[in-house]
């Protein structure tokens, strides 16, 4: 009965996508991100190094609308290079390659920031489902699923020791009227915040908490914790 209720309310969709994204991708790549950034920094000593930004910045647009080319989404985002790739045998695929793209972000003060950034790819699934009659996904349901995906992924990553300090989730709602540099401004805000956190650590003072970024408290789902689908096992498998 509980399974049927979850299926009818589609709560299991975002929950499952978040776990799949973590187990099948983030848990593999995140522990290697800092090493890749360190290698890039050593090879490019002329670029300023902010270790707090040496993580994967994961974009979570609540509209689920993603761009395959970030440079087309915002001209203030420019591709730089690929970071060192990771090659593993995975699910029968020999030498499966995992890699991240490094971008240069120009902020409103024309300051240049470098970071690894990409969309949370499961959002493409949610968007495609909302466009497919078979899935019967309304726009409102898609929004709720995007919020639930973010909340679930945030909780999973918070409990992951191996992924600590290797990521930053950037959830945002796009403005109703198109802004050509909204995305770069959003990313740059987080990069500046990370830079302040590094300075605060070096100076021994407490870092300031973000004041404008979306967090789970603002993503009001109106779904109680007991209503959320729970993992079938808790032994790590």
Residue pLDDT, tens place only, 134-171:
766 788 889 999 999 999 999 999 999 999 999 999 99
Query: Is the pLDDT score of 233 beyond 80?
Result: no
Is 37 inside any structural domain? yes
CA angle 180, 193, 215 (to 5 degrees): 80
Question: Domain containing 85: what range?
Answer: 13-44+51-205
Is 130 inside any structural domain? yes
Task: State the pLDDT confidence band at 229, using cuts at 50, 70 and 90.
Answer: very low
pLDDT score recorded for residue 231? 40
Is 183 inside any structural domain? yes
CATH code of the domain covering residue 40: 3.40.50.12100
Query: Is the pLDDT score of 195 beyond 80?
Result: yes
- Please answer whether residues 79 and 70 qualify as being in contact, where contact means their C-beta atoms are separated by less than 8 angstroms: yes
Is 237 inside any structural domain? no
Name the pTM for this structure: 0.82
Number of structural domains in the chain: 1
Classify residue 61 as exposed, middle or buried by CB count within 10 Å of its CB (0-12, 13-18, 19+).
buried
Is 121 inside any structural domain? yes
Task: State the pLDDT confidence band at 176, using cuts at 50, 70 and 90.
Answer: confident
Q: 109 to each of 46, 70, 106, 168, 234, how far by Cα in Å?
A: 20, 20, 8, 23, 48
Q: Per residue in 49-104, pLDDT tens?
A: 788 899 999 999 999 999 999 999 999 999 999 998 888 888 899 989 999 999 99
Is 73 inside any structural domain? yes
Query: Is the pLDDT score of 225 beyond 50?
Result: no
Is 3 inside any structural domain? no
Is 144 inside any structural domain? yes
pLDDT score recorded for residue 51? 83
């Amino acid at each position: 009965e509980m399974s049927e209720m979850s299926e009818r309310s589609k709560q299991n969709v975002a929950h499952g996508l978040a776990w799949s994204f973590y187990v099948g991708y983030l848990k593999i790549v995140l522990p290697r991100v800092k090493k890749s950034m360190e290698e890039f920094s050593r090879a490019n000593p002329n670029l300023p190094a902010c270790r707090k930004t040496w993580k994967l910045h994961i974009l979570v647009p609540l509209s689920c609308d993603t761009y395959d080319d970030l440079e087309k989404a915002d001209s203030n985002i420019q591709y730089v290079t690929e970071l060192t790739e990771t090659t593993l045998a995975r699910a029968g695929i020999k030498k499966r390659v995992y890699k991240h793209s490094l971008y240069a972000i120009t902020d409103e003060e024309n300051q240049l920031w470098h970071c690894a950034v990409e969309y949370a790819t499961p959002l493409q699934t949610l968007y495609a489902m909302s466009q497919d009659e078979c899935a019967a996904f309304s726009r409102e349901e898609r929004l709720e699923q995007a919020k639930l995906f973010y909340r679930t992924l945030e909780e999973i990553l918070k409990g992951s020791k191996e992924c600590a300090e290797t990521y930053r989730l950037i959830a945002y709602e796009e403005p109703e009227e198109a802004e050509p540099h909204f995305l770069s401004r959003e990313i740059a805000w987080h990069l500046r915040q990370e830079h302040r956190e590094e300075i605060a650590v070096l100076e021994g003072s407490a870092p300031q908490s973000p004041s404008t970024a979306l967090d789970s408290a603002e993503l009001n789902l109106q779904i109680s914790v007991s209503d959320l689908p729970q993992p079938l096992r808790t032994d790590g498998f």
